[in-house]
A and B are shown apart, each in its own frame.
Chain A
Amino acid sequence: MPDGSMSGRIGQSPVRVDGRAKVTGAAHYASDMAVPNPAWAWLVTSAIARGRIAAIDEAAARAVPGVLDILTHRSMRGEVGDAGFFAGGGYAGSTIRPLQDDRVRHDGEIVAIVLAEGLEQAREAAYRLRIDYAEETPAAGFGSEGAELVSAREASGGSFEDPGVGDADAAFAGAAIRVAADYATPTQHHNPIELFTTTAQWEDGRLTVFEGSQYVHGLKNGLAAQLGLDPAMVRVESPYIGGAFGSRGSLTQRTALIAVAARRLNRPVKLVATRDQGFTIASYRAETRQHVKLGADTDGRLVALVHEGTEVTSRPDPYKVAGTQTTSRIYACPNIRTRVSLLHADRNTPGFMRSPPELPYMFALESAMDELAHAAGLDPIELRRRNDTMREPIKGLPWTSRSLMPCFDRGAAAFGWAERNPAPRSMREGDWLVGWGCATTIYPTHLGAATARVTLTPDGRARVQTAAHEIGTGTYTVVAQAAAEGLGLPLGKVLVEMGDSDLPPAPVSGGSNVTASVCTVVMQACEQIRARLAAAATEGPLQGRDPATLRLLDGALRAPDGAAEPLAAAMARAANGAIEVYAENIPEGLPPDSLKKLYQGKQALGGGLEGKQHVMAAFGAEFVEVRVHSRTAELRVPRILGAFAAGRIVNPRTARSQLMGGLIWGIGSALHEATEIDRRTARYVNDNIAEYLIPVNADVPQVEVLFVEEEERTANPLGIKGLGELGNVGTNAAIANAVFHATGKRVRELPIRIESVL
């Protein structure tokens, strides 16, 4: 993987070790993988959201030259078993299993798969396949007849508790300053540039699947469960992923279907689903409605916080994000009440999408905080300072570290916040109203059990093997940096292998846990190698030194007094050949069965806000300038700035890119992105990236990321707090707050568009 001999220890900014491969096309993504003589699959998806398949006429489709087979519920029933909902201890992002009966449970459900010699033949046959539906009136979501509201607590069977403390309603009633408002966030889709693809190949009863995945071990084990296979007979390869953002975290139902198709045809089958199919065969960010009440004393100190949220989900799956877990813990407040409810509708099951709980719920809380600041006549930063706390208010647990106010202070200085005239509609440039807004951003520091194999060979090279994933964030690079640091090697001497379920398992690339979880276990493996080398250094230049004090640095084993032995010599003393270590780590505070769950491919992250002794999160402050045309109300963001503190930054270059990407996505989330749903039919209408808008370069002319130094001593030995999802959390509210400042109009429904402020 790496080329050259870049230095790249932890904290330095080497360029991505896989950057060249990516920009030259040498990096092969799942659908690039060459398999012998593949057949092509084309999905046929439902044109209704609820009902049943009344009739299928395959004649015209089968008449298309090259068609090999057409799979429908009539031929596939019973082929695919239940892998269980991931949040209930299973594997699947949705338990709606297509082709297992004649029911249609959401728009765009897979109702047939055409298999053909060529892609275009499969596509044409799919067009000619005639499916008649017995349609029933679907419930699209909020306001739809037939949608079913349940509390999250009830839906979880009592395992979910709405966080709360004190008597929030009484305290609110008696508060000197009060704000109460309703907020809404839309359905949004990940739209990773790499489409949802699956290639399945059987060899001697063994199944290999090439698919972009954020959790190859989960996919492997889930597939085995669905197909009744020994997990050892399934391998998932996913060396590069063209964006994921949560959409590839849990298994989707297409994979097993393609595997069955390949088994039936006795040849590899390749599927590249279309962009619009990606809206319905995978997950998305759930639409929410929220209500927030904040009560404060005359100094702006919170005395009451109420946050209620309702999230749309599918009929069968109790998917929730419950961002109240976060919003109830950020600010000091003695009286808090929260409640999360689910609205079951005829929709596909939503799922994780970058900052799943925080993005929608922090939009509401941080908008309400801005409303409170305005009501109290306080600067919004000062309001947050008065409510800053080193202990979360629900259980009174300490934050392991928290640099929220340093982030606000540093960001405010860089942004020029002091120049802000606090009066709404007071700033203007030409025909444009100018508004400045800010908001808190937070992302919990999640950790997972992880394993890795590190091999040091006598030629001074290291190989790191761990089934982590390169979802575009730079994981190959930061894992290489950890090994380079741990073994005292230049980055170019470290080879990292990931994205293959035959490798030692690593956790799901979700919850921003991977840098911390995987670098920690890699460093442990390196430490074991160092210990073996140190223990063997009983003669030669290091004779007589305490082995515990010896360090691997710059290609040598070194003592504090300057004595050193070149690595090759130290290795010759310790072993006749390579030294290989297989390390397993359960982060402190996670249950002992975390490792077992990892080997089973279950999702078992911990840490964050769930701790018993302490809570941990990365914080930041985001600042935006919004311009709104005084006549025609276009909204633009000429500049955005975020100041972030996330413990030790492993690679400032890739970290900065992650945070920039988050800020940019935050702009899109606030101003552009919404999946439009026809409320009559519960169908997605703008299911393409021509009509589902995301920012273009002209929308993000100036994006600035600042790091605030922070020492984290508790979360993990390296002091890392994940920051992959930190960037987009505060942006929605910061923009809404800036829009209020620019126009005097408070917009509480995303996205904020021309008609919101016209």
Chain B
Amino acid sequence: MNIYVCIKQVPDTETKIKLSPDSTGIDTTGIKWIVSPYDEFAIEEALRLKEKNAGSLVTVIAAGPARVVEALRTALAMGADNAIHVEIAETADNFFTAKSLAAALKKEAKVDIVYFGKEAIDDGAGQTAQLTAALMDLPCVTVALNVEYSADKIKAKREVEGGAFEMIEATLPVVIAAQKGMNEPRYASLPNIMKAKKKEVKAYKESDLGVSSADQKIKLKNFQLPPPKQPGKKVEGDAATAAKALVQLLHTEAKVI
């Protein structure tokens, strides 16, 4: 099988985000970059599928500036066979990214499954998988928890709003966006880390893929940090008075009721 995983490099979860001086983005100095955690589930799922199907190949693709090659190396160390770097600007939006990824995937001889994480943990947009699928005219299963594979189709359990699940069948080729709980991503073994360092990463420029900044649909104008978290409040008194006070607070301060 020809298995693909599209991954995004994002700031580490512990990063304290600072805005860029003109507030059109974030200040990336000193940031530690990681593979977006949902994408790790996608990589793991791809590797497990490959291990069950001899002769399969897993190729990871990342779009972004030069630094995202590190994320590709991480995926190679986990066990991916090949890596493709789609070199586009840091500021690329979901559509621009999806179009670039789709163009890169279309250059491949045969694509059976494309995995994504259900969303990246930085912008949390959750759009790239669907957009890529649409641009490639492929079926797409998002927020997938559990997938059964057969020769020409998949059956996926996906999470829907309200804590419910639904089962979806789709024919190959298919795009699958992974939800947490799909698996436990592996820790790269040292021999694989060593091998990953030496592997070649194929690179595409915008011109190779026929994309350009004209494909950018979103312009970022003014980023703001969320207001700092307020300390918690303890509502005192017996159950009746406390309940009354709580309702009052929810109404006047939190303004949720």
User: Do these two chains interact?
Assistant: no
Chain A residues near B (Cβ < 8 Å): none
Chain B residues near A (Cβ < 8 Å): none
